[in-house]
Amino acid sequence: MAGDRKLFIKTYGCQMNVYDSERMAEALGGKGYTLTDSPEGADMILLNTCHIREKAAEKVYSELGRFKGLKAANPDLKIGVAGCVAQAEGEEILRRQPMVDLVVGPQSYHRLPELETLARKGKRALDTDFPEEDKFEHLAVRPKAMRGPSAFLTVQEGCDKFCAFCVVPYTRGAEASRPVVRVLTEARDLVARGVAEITLLGQNVNAYHGEGPDGRDWGLARLVRALAEIEGLERIRYTTSHPNDMEDDLIAAHGDCAKLMPYLHLPVQSGSDRILKAMNRKHSAESYLRLVARIRAARPDLLLSGDFIVGFPGETEADFEDTLNLVRAVGYGQAYSFRYSPRPGTPAAERDQVDPDAASERLYRLQSLLGEQQQAAQAAMVGKTVGVLFEKPGRMSGQLAGKSDHLHAVHVEAASTYMGRIAQVQIVESAPNSLRGRLLG
């Protein structure tokens, strides 16, 4: 029966893909699909892919190979590839993997119901267009079922920066912002279903300039302030940002908007001006440090997170030392660091590569420094009182786990009645990747 169909989605990569997977499931809900946690017994398997990491496409083909047995046992099983690898590979996926029934890019997944119909008729379906219509306007209305206390909400997609290492402009397209009214409507709907914390998503989220109800473009700061007026929405976050789009009013919002949490992910990628220029980042190490100082002046307790690429083509030991010096100057509470890997079709992929052993050694040194800073930031929380949004059971019986204002994982002895609520917690211990707290009141 159509109404009994099971859908399994495996999501790779960023938070935006998590959001997209939710919307894909909702889009297929009208075709009678409900989510299942296992590919065994599913009527459709969707891989929502990411193209950022090394050998992303090959990993997708490897994953597809694991489903051959399921397809052989159930010829009616439909298998689809979505997301950025789908956008980049397109027809190549259908050519290399005959068991795939449909391929859909990240800007076209609102058309999944039509593609599923084609697949059910035995036709292989491909849609990797950049359609003119707003996919969000064509998606089904989100179901009213209650959900967890935190949620992602995409407000901006695409990127116009064309960093030399990045495929996003090619797989997600040009920067586009959703209209303010639609964002606010979706946010109110999420809050009505039990959401207390919303993270605004975008490939370059602080480049948000959506059409406001007054007919003018609204920046991210104005959107944040409008969201803060929604009763029941207690916390607002956003990711991922570009230093060049950190406008004055957004910096000010970190100081005067109580619902905007004291956490900011602000990638820099390198501390070397020479490498930043080669990356086409269009900012310098010094301008980044000045920006950090301005943001911290507005919100002194802000925890800063960043991204770093080590071993970018042309990087010397002196360039890498510049990165270490920037890290020491900033003091990160969290960070993500990777060894450079070429993405086909990007400018940097055609350049001479750094010796992989040297790059790996540099990455180890960088991650050691970043790890020390993360532990220091967590240790500094001991004795402080923070708000914790409880989201799931803890690691031990009688515990709940949640996120602090600064996005730290916190474990607390608390009754299950606190689930989904924000409570004041005193931090009593710092563990390697989390904090332990004591419930106050």
Helix (H) or strand (E) holding 300: none
Fold of 385-439: OB fold (Dihydrolipoamide Acetyltransferase, E2P) (2.40.50)
Q: Residues of CATH 3.40.50.12160 domain(s) within the chain?
A: 2-127
What are the backbone dihedrals phi and psi of residue 366, each rounded to the nearest 5 degrees, phi first?
A: -65, -45
Kindly state the tokens that stand for 382.
């001991």
| Tally of residues, the chain | 441
**What's the pLDDT tens digit per position in 231-268?**
999 999 999 999 999 999 999 999 999 999 999 999 99
Enumerate residue ranges in the chain where pLDDT < 50.
1
Annotated binding residues, written as ranges, equal 14, 50, 84, 159, 163, 166
Q: Residues of CATH 3.80.30.20 domain(s) within the chain?
A: 141-379
Give residue 109's pLDDT: 84
Given the structure tokens 């997609």, which residue do they identify? Answer: 157
Closest of 260, 152, 154, 143 to residue 192, by C-alpha: 143
Q: d(Cα 376, Cα 303) in Å, to the nearest integer?
A: 12
CATH superfamily of 2-127: Methylthiotransferase, N-terminal domain (3.40.50.12160)
- Report the Cα 318 to chain-centroid distance in Å: 32
Contact 209, 180 (CB under 8 A): no
Q: d(Cα 87, Cα 106) in Å, to the nearest integer?
A: 7
Annotated binding residues for [4Fe-4S] cluster, written as ranges, equal 14, 50, 84, 159, 163, 166
Give residue 1's pLDDT: 43
Fold of 141-379: pyruvate-formate lyase- activating enzyme (3.80.30)
Question: Using alpha carbons only, what angle is made at residue 150 by residues 147 and 153, rounded to the nearest 5 degrees?
Answer: 95
pTM > 0.85: yes or no: no
Given the structure tokens 């298998």, which residue do they identify? Answer: 79
Q: d(Cα 261, Cα 242) in Å, to the nearest integer?
A: 18
Q: Residues of CATH 2.40.50.140 domain(s) within the chain?
A: 385-439
Strand partners, 409: 403
Tell me the H-state helices in 139-219: 168-171, 180-192
